[in-house]
Amino acid sequence: MKLIIASNNAHKVAEIKAILAPYFNSIQSLKDARLDIDVVEDGKTFAENALKKAREVLAVSDADAALSDDSGLEVDALFGAPGVYSARYAGEGHDDNANNEKLLQEMKDVPPDKRTCRFVSAVALARREKEPITAVGAVEGKLLYAPRGCGGFGYDPLFLYEPEGMTFAELSAAKKNEISHRACALNALREAMENERA
């Protein structure tokens, strides 16, 4: 079976390949598949965005399935923001640094005990002549006052994973793949696929 991941984000693609490789003969990114598609993410939830993207990518590909992930950071003190706008929090065309700077500015006066947050990931697997599967995963953390670590991407340097006492940017890729929101969602998806087989 051939799977297309509806992303060109190398970090995401690597995480997904590491978890779902046993289930597909071939796994490609959009770039690998020579697909240039820009899906408008106008859903109100991560799951809505992921499902829309997976369906649209499958429709224009020759793959057996398409997998999409929509993920982001929810900060309690900001009533769940940046949420579905995580990637474009500082505006269209801005990068991770700009998003992080905006978030730090908005949170600068929030005390440590009120800086609870979570990474949320929704994954959707669209398949030919089968119902799609969606799954959601989350991991709780605290938002720091300054970035730490040089790994990962996005808000990882600001997200303190308290059981390890490290940010997601300080964790090894292997460790992050074990406990991340995306890993939780992908493992739930994998479980749903196993249940189908049974």
- Domain residue ranges of the chain, discontinuous segments joined by +: 2-197
The whole-model pTM stands at 0.89
Could you say which of 1.10.1370.40, 3.20.20.70, 3.90.950.10, 3.40.50.720 is the CATH number of the domain covering 2-197?
Answer: 3.90.950.10
Mean pLDDT of the chain: 93
Q: Which tokens go with 69?
A: 């992930």
- Model pLDDT for residues 30-81, shown as the tens digit of each residue: 999 889 888 888 889 999 999 999 999 999 999 999 999 999 999 999 999 9
- What residues does 73 pair with on adjacent strands? 119
Which one from 42, 70, 95, 156 is the annotated catalytic residue? Answer: 70
Q: Give the alpha-carbon dihedral of 6, 134, 49, 159, to 10 degrees.
A: -90
Tell me: pLDDT of 165 over 90.
yes
Active site residue 76: no
Residue 143 or residue 180, greater confidence: 143
The 3-state DSSP class for residue 146 equals coil
Q: Token match 């308290």: residue?
A: 162
State mean pLDDT over 120-129: 95
